[in-house]
C-alpha cells in the first residue's frame, strides 16, 4: 500500500454545524491522487463551491455520513488498496486550459468499487443525510435541541446566575452522555446546546443582577483596582464607577463574568497552596507593582494562565494562600531570579 492515510483523531472530527445553517456540513473522504493521501473531513465551505483540484478530478471526494473517527479510519483502511489503484491509474495532464486528471480503466473500476463500498449511487446526496448503509454504531448521533433538552435543566443541574462557563461545559457533556444512552451511536452532538445552557444562566443573571455593593465587594475581594476590573469586564472605568456608586444598574451579564473571575482566582490560590506542599521554602513571592509582576511571570511555566492579571490581584492570591497554610509572603528579588 502506497497511499498515506491521515487518521481522524477526535471522535466527532467530521461533525461541524455552522450557526445559521439548518444542517451540519457534509462530510467526505478525500483521495489526493497527486500527494497520494487519503483523509476525511467536513466541507468547510457553505454551498457547492469546490477547489479546482476537485473539479478537475485530481482530488476525489467521496461523500459519507458523519462517521465517528474510529469508523472512518477503518473505512479508509478498507478502501486503501483500491485508492492505490486509482492513484496508479491517474495521470495529471494539461488540456490546454487546466491540469486535469486522466484515468485509465483500472482507476475507473477501482473508483466505482470505492463508491460501492461507501454505499454511494447516482442518487446519493452530498450532505451526508443518508446513512449509506452504515450502522448506527458507526455514526455520530446528531440531535436537535428540542430532542436533547427537557426544559428542567436549571433544576436538574443546579444552574444559577453564578454558574461558570466551565461548569456549563460539564453539564453539556453530561447531557450528551445521557443522549448516547438513548441510542446505538457511541457519541452524541447537539448544535446549540451550549448556547441554550448559557442562555438559561444569563436569564437568571438578568433576573438577579449584582447590587452595587456586591460588585465593589467582589472587586476588592479579587484585589483589583477599578481600572483593572473595568478592563476585565470590557467597559470604561467611568461605567464601572457608575455601577458601583448605584447611578446605573449593574447589567445582569456582569454577574456570571464576576463568577468566572472568582473561579480563576480560587484556582490560582489552590495552585499556590499545592506548590507549597513540595517546596523547600514556605515563603510566597509576590510583586510590588505591575511592571515587576509582568517581568516575574513572563516565561514561567508555574504561572501559566496568570498573564493579564495584576500585582494587586497576585498579592490577594498570596494572602489567601498564606491564610490557608501559614506561609510567609515576601517581595520578589528579580535581580536574583526569586521569581
pLDDT of residue 297: 81
What whole-number distance in Å separates Cα of residue 218 and Cα of residue 164? 15
Chain centroid to CA 64: 24
3-state secondary structure of 254: helix
Alpha-helix residue ranges (DSSP H) falling in 118-225 = 145-148, 153-156, 165-180, 193-207, 212-222
In the chain, where are the structural domains located?
4-135, 140-207, 212-336
What whole-number distance in Å separates Cα of residue 197 and Cα of residue 152? 11
Encode the chain (339 residues) as per-residue pLDDT tens digits: 689 999 999 999 999 999 999 999 999 999 999 999 999 999 999 887 889 999 999 999 999 999 999 999 999 999 999 999 999 999 999 999 999 999 999 999 999 999 999 998 754 444 444 678 899 999 999 999 999 999 999 999 999 999 999 999 999 999 999 999 998 999 999 999 999 999 999 999 999 999 999 999 999 999 999 999 999 999 999 999 999 999 999 999 999 999 999 999 999 999 999 999 888 888 999 999 999 998 888 766 555 667 779 999 999 999 999 999 999 999 998 766 554
For residue 278, give the C-alpha cell: 513540595
Classify 212-336 by CATH class.
mainly alpha
Closest to 170 in 3D by CA, of 184, 183, 159, 155: 159
pTM of the model: 0.85
pLDDT of residue 306: 74
Q: What is the DSSP letter of 56?
A: T
pLDDT of residue 48: 77
Task: Note every long-range contact of 156-163, with CB atoms under 8 Å and residues 24 or more positions apart, other chains counting.
Answer: 159/197, 159/200, 159/201, 159/204, 160/201, 160/204, 161/201, 161/204, 161/205, 161/207, 161/208, 161/252, 161/255, 161/256, 161/259, 162/255, 162/256, 162/259, 163/201, 163/256, 163/259
Amino acid at each position: 500500500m502506497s497511499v498515506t492515510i491521515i487518521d481522524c483523531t477526535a471522535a466527532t472530527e467530521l461533525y461541524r454545524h455552522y450557526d445559521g445553517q439548518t444542517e451540519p456540513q457534509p462530510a467526505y473522504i478525500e483521495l489526493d491522487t497527486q500527494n497520494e493521501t487519503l483523509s476525511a473531513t467536513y466541507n468547510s465551505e457553505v454551498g457547492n463551491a469546490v477547489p479546482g483540484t476537485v473539479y478537475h478530478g485530481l482530488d476525489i471526494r467521496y461523500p459519507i455520513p458523519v462517521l465517528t473517527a474510529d469508523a472512518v479510519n477503518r473505512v479508509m483502511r478498507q478502501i486503501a488498496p483500491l485508492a492505490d489503484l486509482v492513484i496508479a491509474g491517474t495521470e495529471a495532464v494539461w488540456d490546454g486550459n487546466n491540469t486535469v486528471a486522466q484515468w485509465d480503466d483500472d482507476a475507473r473500476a477501482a473508483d466505482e468499487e470505492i463508491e460501492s463500498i461507501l454505499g454511494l449511487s447516482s442518487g446519493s446526496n452530498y450532505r451526508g443525510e443518508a446513512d449509506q448503509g452504515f450502522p448506527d454504531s458507526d455514526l455520530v448521533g446528531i440531535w436537535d435541541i428540542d430532542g436533547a433538552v427537557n426544559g428542567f435543566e436549571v433544576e436538574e443541574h443546579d444552574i444559577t446566575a453564578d454558574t461558570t462557563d466551565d461548569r456549563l461545559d460539564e453539564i453539556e457533556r453530561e447531557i450528551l452522555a445521557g443522549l448516547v444512552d438513548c441510542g446505538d451511536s457511541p457519541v452524541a452532538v447537539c448544535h446549540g446546546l451550549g448556547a441554550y445552557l448559557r442562555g438559561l444562566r444569563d436569564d437568571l443573571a438578568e433576573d438577579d443582577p449584582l447590587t452595587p455593593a456586591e460588585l465593589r465587594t467582589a472587586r476588592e475581594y479579587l484585589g483589583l483596582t477599578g481600572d483593572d476590573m473595568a478592563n476585565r469586564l470590557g467597559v470604561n472605568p467611568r461605567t464601572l464607577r457608575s455601577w458601583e456608586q448605584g447611578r446605573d444598574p449593574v447589567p445582569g451579564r456582569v454577574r456570571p463574568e464576576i463568577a468566572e473571575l472568582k473561579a480563576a482566582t480560587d484556582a490560582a490560590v489552590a495552585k499556590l497552596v499545592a506548590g507549597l506542599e513540595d517546596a523547600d521554602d514556605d515563603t510566597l513571592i509576590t510583586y510590588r507593582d505591575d511592571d515587576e509582576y509582568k517581568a516575574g511571570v513572563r516565561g514561567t511555566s508555574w504561572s501559566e494562565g496568570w498573564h493579564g492579571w495584576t500585582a494587586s490581584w497576585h498579592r490577594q492570591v498570596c494572602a489567601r494562600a498564606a491564610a490557608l497554610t501559614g506561609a510567609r509572603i515576601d517581595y520578589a528579588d528579580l535581580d536574583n531570579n526569586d521569581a
